[in-house]
Structures are given as structure tokens and as C-alpha cells.
Amino acid sequence: MKKIIITNTNTIEGKPIIKYFDPISANVVIGTNIFSDISAGFSDFFGGRASSYEKKLEKIYEQVKVKLREKALGSAANKHDASFTDGAGIGACGDGRAVPDPVIEEVARRTPGFSGWQQEQWFTHCGDAAVFLGAAGYEELQQLGKNAIEAIQ
């Protein structure tokens, strides 16, 4: 698998940032067995480290890192032949403004999607996908001025 650096910062000392991905998350849940629980109970009572739980946590961390890499590189979408966002909703939804295929591929297969009431629409500008910065209600739009409100009407 291609190497990718996973970080929660916006800089990496000594490394150029070539591509920025929106935050990607992954969850892994595993069960412990009764012997791990009993061993951890003794560690709680008498003190010391619960090595059986430590081993389980290390396993979880490794599985999460694999899942994060898969999502960031698009291999999760390839493995399951799936997309996170419907490609038809990327761009202007059929109004004639072209969005390059690599942009559609990036959003549909490597970018976490969102749920919408009907067809989700991922906005684009100048042939590239927009970044979702967060929800803005009427109060937030008022703070941005009259032009912001007119832009969405």
C-alpha cells in the first residue's frame, strides 16, 4: 500500500504538503475475552499495567490507521466498488458547466459524503470542488452582509 502520513496538524516539519484531505475518521470495535477482563480486574485491584488491554488497543490503532489510509487513497472505494458521494451531484447538476473527471473521482471516491433531503450537491468553482467549511444559518449570513444573502437566493 502507498505510504501516506497521517496527522492531525496542518503542517509537517520538513515535509511539503502536496494535497490536503478534509478530516477523515475511522472506527474499529473489537471485543475482549473473559480472560482479558479478569486479568485487567487483577491489575485494577493490585495495581500495574493491564497488558492484555494494551495489546488490544495496539491492534485497534493499527486497524484504524489502515482504514484511514484506505479512505485517503481511495482504496476503500475501489475495494467495495462504491462511492461516498453520487458523481451526478458534483458540480452544477446538469446545467452545462463542466467539472473535470479527476475532480469528480476525488470527491466521489476519496472524500467523505453527507446526507441530503434529496440529491446531494457538491458545489464547484472554476473546475474544482469546493471545501465544506460548516453550516451557515441566517444569523451567520447576516454577519457576512447583504451580498451573502443574495448569493444563495
In this predicted structure, what is the pLDDT of residue 19?
61
What is the torsional sign of CA 42, 43, 48, 49?
positive
Indicate the pTM of the whole model.
0.45
List, for residues 44-88, the tens digit of each pLDDT value. 667 767 677 788 888 888 888 887 777 777 777 777 777 877 888
Mean pLDDT confidence for 3-10: 68
List, for residues 12-48, the tens digit of each pLDDT value. 787 766 565 666 667 777 777 776 767 767 666 677 6
In this predicted structure, what is the pLDDT of residue 40?
66
